């Protein structure tokens, strides 16, 4: 049968959502051969615990659960619990994304209720430009929540938060969120094709 190898190499692309996006940003900042990175509603900060890689130590931004709100439905709204971004892009809790070798695409839901993804993406843009890097591509979707998944995945407006062990809202309006998932997928594919190449090698076994 045929195997289709879609990674051109030697560089690779990273795609992550939420905390997974922050892990991708960390990898892009500290590891070699990362040619392109897509952050879907990531924060770009060390959130709840200190991150250490070799001699680099990134302290947590921290949060305050007293800022939790309860929606009419009884589900928690945690969008305001994270601490303020004192110092903006100079905040010591920010991932040093200026060290990334390849470009970064930020996909943002403007109705994200996990954290303020649009603010974080703009802060990341400010940091990159302050370090002489080009302005990154930021694609923001109104009426769109935290979990921007592949097209036709059902929208997840709320679910159990593994750290809080309680149901929290993720935001988003059904129609707008669903349309955003379709467009975001196309944007991601286009981004990777541009920066990773589209050559395919086939091998017959």
- The catalytic site residues sit at 18, 112, 146
Output phi, psi for 123, to 5 deg.
Answer: -65, -40
Distance CA 192, CA 185 (A): 11
Q: Do 17 and 40 touch, CB atoms closer than 8 A?
A: yes
Q: Is the peptide bond before 117 cis (omega within 30 degrees of 0)?
A: no
CA dihedral 102, 51, 132, 87 (to 10 degrees): 140
């Amino acid at each position: 049968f045929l195997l289709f190898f879609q990674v051109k190499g030697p560089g690779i692309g990273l795609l992550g959502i939420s905390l997974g996006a922050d892990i991708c940003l960390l990898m892009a900042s500290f590891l070699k051969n990362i040619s392109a990175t897509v952050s879907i509603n990531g924060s770009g900060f060390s959130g709840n615990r200190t991150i250490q890689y070799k001699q680099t130590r990134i302290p947590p931004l921290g949060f305050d659960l007293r800022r939790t709100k309860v929606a009419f439905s009884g589900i928690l709204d945690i969008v305001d619990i994270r601490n303020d971004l004192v110092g903006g892009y100079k905040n010591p809790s920010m991932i040093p994304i200026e060290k990334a070798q390849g470009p970064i695409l930020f996909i943002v839901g403007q109705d994200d209720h996990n954290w303020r993804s649009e603010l974080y993406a703009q802060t990341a843009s400010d940091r990159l430009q302050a370090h002489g890097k080009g302005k990154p591509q930021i694609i923001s979707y109104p009426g769109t929540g935290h979990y921007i998944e592949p097209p036709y995945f059902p929208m997840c407006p709320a679910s159990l938060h593994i750290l809080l062990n309680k149901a929290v809202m993720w935001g988003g309006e059904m129609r707008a969120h669903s349309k955003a998932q379709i467009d975001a997928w196309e944007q991601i594919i286009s981004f990777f094709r541009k920066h990773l190449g589209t050559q395919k090698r086939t091998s017959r076994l």
